[in-house]
Amino acid sequence: MKNLMFICTVAGALLLAGCEEPYEPKVDKEHNTEMKSLPSDQGFSDYKTADNPAFPTNSKVVINSEPIKGIKGATGTVVAAFDTIAYSVSYTPSTGSAQVRDYKWIVNEELVDENDVAFDVGDKVVTSADHQQGMKNTEVTIETVRPTTVYIVDYVDTAANKKVNRYKWLIEEDLSKE
């Protein structure tokens, strides 16, 4: 009986070890950030497709910034490009985590407001962005305002060597041609 229980336990453990969940970047304490992959069916009807982006759809790019661990130096492919206003923001996550300072980037379409106007440095507004745990429906303080083209990029994480789909948002300064 003990042998049967042991065999069942080992078999169950082996079975579970083979079941991998889809890769999602984990919390990066150094950068105080965790990014979620964007669902492929999320619509962008409220977004203005960029007319002449520096990196058109399907461009091969290198990511030069490090908003999260494992992204700097990664090569990727542009999935989409939109003309909008990008903001860096500071906020306290609803999860009770430490304050996130100068998070880059959320876009104008992700700010909950009845006006379609750009915000100014120091303004406080609620965001609908859910890039990180505890971000959605929180009040953010605008740190920088940048009218620009923003990009959604598929890339391979340099730390975990795993593919991350539809990372948002990067701006032109964050990218270079591969």
| Model confidence pLDDT, tens digit, residues 149-165 | 999 999 998 888 899 99
The CATH superfamily assigned to 26-177 is Domain of unknown function DUF1541 (2.30.30.1210)
Per-residue pLDDT tens digits for 109-124: 999 876 667 899 999 9
One-letter amino acid at 178 equals: E
**Would the pLDDT of 55 be above 50?**
yes
Structural contact between residues 133 and 94, judged by C-beta atoms closer than 8 angstroms: no
Which has more pLDDT, 139 or 114? 139
pLDDT grade for 6, boundaries at 50, 70 and 90: very low
Domain spans of the chain, in order of start:
26-177
Q: How far apart are CA 131 and CA 27, in angstroms?
A: 12
> Phi-psi bin for 166: left (phi > 0), alpha (psi -120 to 50), beta?
left
Residue range 17-40: mean pLDDT, rounded: 39
**Would the pLDDT of 13 be above 80?**
no
Q: How far apart are CA 173 and CA 178, in angstroms?
A: 14
